Structure 1
Amino acid sequence: MRRLLRNQKSNKFFGRFFTYLFLIVLSIIILYPLFITAQSAFNVSNLAAFTLDWHMQWTLDNFRQLFSQTLYLTWFKNTIIIAISTMIIQVIIVTLAGYTYSRYRFKGRKNGLIFFLIIQMVPTMAALTAFFVLGLIINGLDQYWYLTLVYVGGGIPMNTWLMKGYFDTIPRDLDESARIDGAGHLRILCQINLPLAMPMIAVQALWAFMGPFGDYLLAAFLLRTPSNLTVAVGLQQFIANPTNQNISLFAAGSFLISIPIVVLFFFLQRYFQSGLTAGGTKG
């Protein structure tokens, strides 16, 4: 008996040890490049490459130069507008589509889901020409609204599948109980299912908001005017010339990108857990 207890304690110890070891290694892999970027953003000298210097001189001049001598604030504003628009439109469409595919049976439902999977298999590179030609036809090149629609359309297929899968986990007994009490389709959606689906809706909102900040390919392909660029495309200009790269400005701009994403994450964090219990009882 003692030997069995000793073995259980030993297995529990090694399990925890390797779990924490894995988390520590993973944290180092994630935080190390972020630390280098942050340090480069506050470095007094113009770096030729990202380096880790423990004896560097700290300064805010890179941020002052970024705001006063570049179009960074304009790029930042453009990205915020596109990100918020993409988030709102995509979350609404994906939520309604996922709920429809999960709760209702209609003609073409299976084929529609299969079509979403097929569309998702097409890489972005293969669709660039189609996006460009479509933009020419509808006069959407160098326009925020067109890039926003491209982002929304690209996020619908797979995110609809994810949202449908989440709605599938919500018991249908809650819907039936609400119908017995006289609730209609809209009330069941708004008062029963949406509160329970808030964790996935919050995740969808965060993903949709982050997309325009990190995307370079589509924005560089569809936007032309320097004042209409997004942050990712604008920052690339600082390192585009191999003989005259400004790593410090690039790092400073990259550091500021994380601020709205972090703010939105902390704002949505409460919904990650609150949705697990909200709406579970009939009002």
Structure 2
Amino acid sequence: MKEINHTNFAEWLNKSVMYVIFLAISFLVLYPLVYVVAGAFSPGNSIAAMSIVPFGDGFTVAHFADLFTKTDYGRWFANTLAISLATSAATVVVSSLSAYVFSRFSFRLKKPFLMSLLILQIFPSFVGMIAIYVILLRCGGLDTLWGLVLVYTAGNIPYNTWLVKNYMDTVSRNLDEAARIDGAGHLRVFWQIILPVARPIITFLAITSFTAPWMDFIFPKMVLRSSEKMTLAVGLFGFVSDKKNEFTIFAAGALLIAVPFVLFFLITQKTLVTSFGGAAVKE
């Protein structure tokens, strides 16, 4: 009887310790997020004047109105959306075509080219920031949106080419041969045969290529200069710099940044699951 009670007490103690640890981790993760959401709807500007209790200072939506009436937030949002969409589209086109070439063709220096892509991916993008700045300066890409798209696309190509190429290697070559027997050329095989089968990895590639420019701060800070060309990350940073202390407006802008991602995943969640599930049906 004592052994049973001892076992039950040990299980209860283990569960209690686990629950305490999980609750502590959840609090540390969720509290900053809830605090930012509360800051977006709290009166005032300074973070020092806010209560440590979320929504303890009242409720207002004035900060969201100030974003679009007193700042260039709308333009920053449009710039960031244009850069992210262009980067995603360019990365998908260039990486998928490059992956198709490396996956389906044999040519001299193929392995050295693949190895060079892998070596380039080892070095972080920050290593070449000075070189990137000089190149954009000489080609007129500074303070332009297309210059930033060029930087992001070039940085995405090495890893994503490897990623898509490895996926295309798993697609049966019998599909290619059957299409060529019917008279299809390489471009038609790529567009009508390979791309539909590779839709899961292409979807993943488009999402990741869109997310990185949307959240990036360092490269827009280096490339862009004028206020009308700024992205969301650079523009919002100005609200919490040494010259300004408008945390509530910053929180409102940061909250709006997350809205497109939430809506996107809610809309495409079923499609993504279906696509990845269908990816398992291959030879």
Q: TM-score range by the shorter chain?
A: 0.7 to 0.9
Secondary structure of the residue aligned to 1:237 is helix
Report the alpha carbon displacement of residue 182 of structure 1 after superposing the two structures with TM.
4.2
Q: Larger deviation: 45-54 or 183-192?
A: 45-54
Paired residues of 2:92 and 2:206 also in contact (CA < 8 A) = yes
- Give the Cα separation in 2 of the matches to 1:195 and 1:22: 45
Identify unmatched segments of 5+ residues in structure 2.
1-18
- Give the Cα separation in 1 of the matches to 2:164 and 2:230: 31
- Give the AA of the match of 1:56: D
Name the residue aligned to 1:198.
199
Name the residue aligned to 1:11.
none
Percent identical among aligned pairs is 39
Residue correspondence of structure 1 range 94-243 to structure 2 within 5 A? 94-241=95-242
Report the alpha carbon displacement of residue 247 of structure 1 after superposing the two structures with TM.
1.1
Distance 1:143 1:106, change over 3 A: same
State yes or no: 1:262 paired with 2:255.
no
Report the alpha carbon displacement of residue 264 of structure 1 after superposing the two structures with TM.
3.4
Name the residue aligned to 1:55.
56
State yes or no: 1:72 paired with 2:81.
no
Paired residues of 2:102 and 2:165 also in contact (CA < 8 A) = yes
Name the residue aligned to 2:15.
none
Identify unmatched segments of 5+ residues in structure 1.
1-19
Name the residue aligned to 1:249.
249
Residue correspondence of structure 1 range 73-88 to structure 2 within 5 A? 73-88=74-89
The count of aligned residue pairs is 262
- Give the AA of the match of 1:258: A
Distance 1:272 1:28, change over 3 A: farther
Provide TM-score, normalisation by structure 2. 0.82
Secondary structure of the residue aligned to 2:60 is coil
Provide TM-score, normalisation by structure 1. 0.82
- Give the Cα separation in 1 of the matches to 2:33 and 2:89: 29
- Give the Cα separation in 1 of the matches to 2:276 and 2:182: 23
Name the residue aligned to 1:273.
274
Paired residues of 1:42 and 1:248 also in contact (CA < 8 A) = yes
- Give the AA of the match of 1:220: K
Secondary structure of the residue aligned to 1:126 is helix
- Give the AA of the match of 1:66: L
Report the alpha carbon displacement of residue 70 of structure 1 after superposing the two structures with TM.
1.0
Distance 1:67 1:203, change over 3 A: same
Report the alpha carbon displacement of residue 277 of structure 1 after superposing the two structures with TM.
3.4
Paired residues of 1:206 and 1:265 also in contact (CA < 8 A) = no
- Give the AA of the match of 1:273: T
Q: Larger deviation: 261-270 or 166-175?
A: 261-270
Paired residues of 1:40 and 1:47 also in contact (CA < 8 A) = no
